[in-house]
């Protein structure tokens, strides 16, 4: 892409595969989920190389630095040349561990737990989730 061409932030975020569709990228901008220097930006904001954006997708938070302008969507391996993920490592680890929490199940057909079993389950959950934080 030539340096004198303009590129909208919603199109850029779609092209680097931050969002599945351009419409989702546009809606994220309008909802204040995309920030530049702590300020909400509009979907028509012009992207410049070197700018750092804070992108919120659900509970996930990413910090990206623009290293190149990409107008059309490409395969995931090629896209990594157009931005640098500067998300703090502890934030990335915290996000990933939320999905690796153990799932507690009961055998099918055993019925509801008794009061004693319920207390044991609560104690077990309390021990699992408090030690991880």
Q: What's the confidence (pLDDT) of residue 1?
A: 46
Question: Is the pLDDT confidence value at 130 over 70?
Answer: no
Q: What's the confidence (pLDDT) of residue 53?
A: 94
Question: Is the pLDDT confidence value at 131 over 60?
Answer: no
Q: How many domains does the chain have?
A: 2
Domain membership of residue 32 (yes or no) is yes
Angle, alpha carbons 106-108-112 (nearest 5°): 60
Question: Is the pLDDT confidence value at 4 over 80?
Answer: no
Q: What's the confidence (pLDDT) of residue 61?
A: 86
Q: Do both 45 and 69 map to the same domain?
A: yes
Tens of pLDDT, residues 10-24 = 999 999 999 999 999
Domain membership of residue 2 (yes or no) is no
Spatial CA neighbour of 55 closest among 47, 63, 67: 63
Expressed as residue numbers, the domain containing 61 is: 9-88
Tens of pLDDT, residues 51-89 = 999 998 877 888 999 999 988 898 889 898 999 988 887
Question: Is the pLDDT confidence value at 103 over 70?
Answer: no
Domain membership of residue 74 (yes or no) is yes
Domain membership of residue 15 (yes or no) is yes
Angle, alpha carbons 60-88-36 (nearest 5°): 70
């Amino acid at each position: 892409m030539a340096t004198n061409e303009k590129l909208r932030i919603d199109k850029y975020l779609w092209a680097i595969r931050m969002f599945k569709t351009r419409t989702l990228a546009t809606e994220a901008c309008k909802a204040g989920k995309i920030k530049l220097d702590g300020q909400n930006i509009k979907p028509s904001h012009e992207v410049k190389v070197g700018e750092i954006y804070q992108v919120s997708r659900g509970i996930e938070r990413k910090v990206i630095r623009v290293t190149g302008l990409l107008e059309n969507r490409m395969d995931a391996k090629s896209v990594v040349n157009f931005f640098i993920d500067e998300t703090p490592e502890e934030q990335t680890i915290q996000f990933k561990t939320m999905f690796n929490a153990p799932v507690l199940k009961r055998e099918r057909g055993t019925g509801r737990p008794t009061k004693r079993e319920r207390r044991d389950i609560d104690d077990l959950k309390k021990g699992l989730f408090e030690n991880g934080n």
